[in-house]
Amino acid sequence: MQKQDELLVNVTINGKEIAAPSSLSTIQALWHAGYPRVKSVGCLEGVCGSCRIMVRRKESNQVSMELGCQTLIEEGMQVNFLVFPTPTHHTYDLNTIKSSWEVQGRFHKIFPEAEHCRHCGGCNRSCPKGIEVERGVELASKGRFREAGELFIECVMCNFCMTACPETIAPNHVGLFSRRVTAYFHTRPGNLISRLETLRKGDLDVKK
């Protein structure tokens, strides 16, 4: 609903030029202009991660990744809603992990790509929630699941990080796994588990 005397701003959303009140989010602006968008629209509260958008603001060369329901329109803004292909699925059953000693080994079987992180920072730059995604992947790879899981508490599963990753790591799923195993097990010290996993793989140089 337009408030009295409210300014209309001109924006381009998915190639459509729209004039809408400045108090509207990008999704509301689309609806206001008569485009009944239903794809990539979810909770409208900023927690489901469905309404991923790329945004370029007037007189800026930068493109940012944001959530459409949380981004108010601004004069000259260009917006594109993103629909990603079916995301990666990692299937696992925590009940089949007998104890927390096995968690790191199982993690690397489920997420073998996590060890190939290039530390390019693409996931950090793409995250609309400002999460230290790269660090989360690194911590999980080292078996520090409690710390990794804590980093992903604000994650809305928007999949931006996964799409940005040149190694097809799904950092958000790494985060979810970390939170689940932390809740499921009273995990033993991560550095000890990590050292045992290194031993198991025969990568530890033990001096006799």
Q: Which residues bind ligand SF4 (CB under 6 A)?
A: 49, 117-123, 126-127, 129, 131, 133-134, 137, 155-161, 164-167, 169, 171-172
Short-list 69, 74, 71, 72, CA closest to 58: 74
In the bound state with ligand SF4, the residue whose beta carbon lies nearer, of 12 and 88, is 88
Place of tokens 């928007």: 158
Q: How far is the CB of 150 from ligand SF4 (least distance, A)?
A: 13
Q: How far is the CB of 93 from ligand SF4 (least distance, A)?
A: 23
- Are 108 and 198 in contact by the 8 Å Cβ rule? The answer is no
Q: How far is the CB of 64 from ligand SF4 (least distance, A)?
A: 12
In the bound state with ligand SF4, the residue whose beta carbon lies nearer, of 97 and 176, is 176
In the bound state with ligand SF4, the residue whose beta carbon lies nearer, of 161 and 193, is 161
Rounded to whole angstroms, the Cα distance separating 18 from 10 reads 6
Rounded to whole angstroms, the Cα distance separating 170 from 60 reads 30
What the block records as the tokens of 156 is 């809305």
Q: How far is the CB of 94 from ligand SF4 (least distance, A)?
A: 21
In the bound state with ligand SF4, the residue whose beta carbon lies nearer, of 121 and 189, is 121
Helix spans in the chain (H): 26-32, 103-110, 122-126, 133-141, 145-151, 160-164, 171-184, 190-200
In the bound state with ligand SF4, the residue whose beta carbon lies nearer, of 103 and 127, is 127
Measured CA angle at 151 (ends 124, 139), to 5 deg: 85
Q: How far is the CB of 154 from ligand SF4 (least distance, A)?
A: 7
